[in-house]
Amino acid sequence: MSRLAAVLWDMDGTLVDSEGLWSISMAELAADLGGELSAATRDELTGSSLRNTVVTVRRELGIRDPEDEAGVARDGRWLLDRTFALFSEGLPWRPGAREALEVVREAGLRTALVTSTYRELTEVALDTLGRGFFDVTVCGDEVAATKPDPAPYLRAADLLGVEPARCVAVEDSSAGATAAEGAGATVLVVPAGVEVPPGERRTFRGTLDGLGVGELRSLLAAGVH
């Protein structure tokens, strides 16, 4: 039976309640482009990459060439700058998240932060999270493909020097859970307002309140096939 070697943490919506800030900046981008983003599309973009987010917003607003590289780059920069300003005002913790990070760290387990957010924004978030909680961080602009592709989780496991099958990933989104599963990790899903479908290697929890290392080890044991 595999032994738990590492815990891989998603960031937005899992550790910090930043999805609401992304909603603000995406709505403002849509308004700047002369339209309005639907709630359904916003939910669909939870955990998405920056490029996919920008292209989707442009497509929904009926922009003639939503994948025009110059336009995508311009609007992506606008979205990053606005979100950077919002992040800089402070990020609230998700329930039980800080305590869960402390418990895992105190147990001596290896840890990684695995996020679709770009490095420049992740560094701002780490001012709230605390860099000492993570051995490595993998950001959306540092991998060839972002969630739901498994590349970010495979990269994190490689940097930690552990097998993905010996990891539990903690996620809040369908894209993130798919990425972690595809890498071979067991997934603890803690939804943050957007429904995540069940999966073979997924276990669901309402919050991170009271999460212990024993529970994580049991999840890994149950998820090994």
Selected catalytic residue, list 10, 12, 75, 172: 10
Using the structure block, give the residue that is written with the tokens 């539990």.
168
Write out pLDDT tens, residues 3-37.
Answer: 999 999 999 999 999 878 888 998 999 999 999 98
Looking at the structure, tell me whether residues 73 and 180 fall in a common domain: no
pTM: 0.86
CATH number at residue 107: 3.40.50.1000
Looking at the structure, tell me whether residues 84 and 106 fall in a common domain: no
Nearest to 175 by CA among 50, 75, 69, 55: 50
Looking at the structure, tell me whether residues 45 and 11 fall in a common domain: no
1 in a domain, yes or no?
no
Write out pLDDT tens, residues 167-192.
Answer: 999 999 999 999 999 999 999 999 98
Last residue of a domain, one of 54, 88, 122: 88
Region 35-46 average pLDDT? 86
3-class secondary structure per residue, 44-83: HCCCCCHHHHHHHHHHHCCCCCCCCHHHHHHHHHHHHHHH
Write out pLDDT tens, residues 129-167.
Answer: 999 999 999 999 999 999 999 999 999 999 999 999 999
Q: Give residue 158's domain range.
A: 6-17+92-223
| Catalytic (active site) residue 10 | yes
CA angle 127, 129, 133 (to 5 degrees): 115
What is the C-alpha separation between 169 and 19, in angstroms, rounded?
19
Looking at the structure, tell me whether residues 101 and 112 fall in a common domain: yes
Looking at the structure, tell me whether residues 122 and 33 fall in a common domain: no
212 in a domain, yes or no?
yes
Q: Could you tell me which residues are beta bridge partners of residue 8?
A: 112, 169
Structurally, the chain folds into a number of domains equal to 2
Last residue of a domain, one of 88, 118, 138: 88
Looking at the structure, tell me whether residues 214 and 154 fall in a common domain: yes
| Residue 225 pLDDT > 60 | no
Confidence of residue 43 (pLDDT cuts 50, 70, 90): confident
Q: Is there a contact between 111 and 134 (Cβ–Cβ < 8 Å)?
A: yes
166 in a domain, yes or no?
yes
Looking at the structure, tell me whether residues 183 and 123 fall in a common domain: yes
185 in a domain, yes or no?
yes
Looking at the structure, tell me whether residues 13 and 105 fall in a common domain: yes
Which phi-psi region, left, alpha or beta, contains residue 39 (left: φ > 0; alpha: ψ -120 to 50)? alpha
What is the C-alpha separation between 76 and 1, in angstroms, rounded?
45
Q: Is there a contact between 27 and 41 (Cβ–Cβ < 8 Å)?
A: no
Last residue of a domain, one of 34, 59, 88: 88
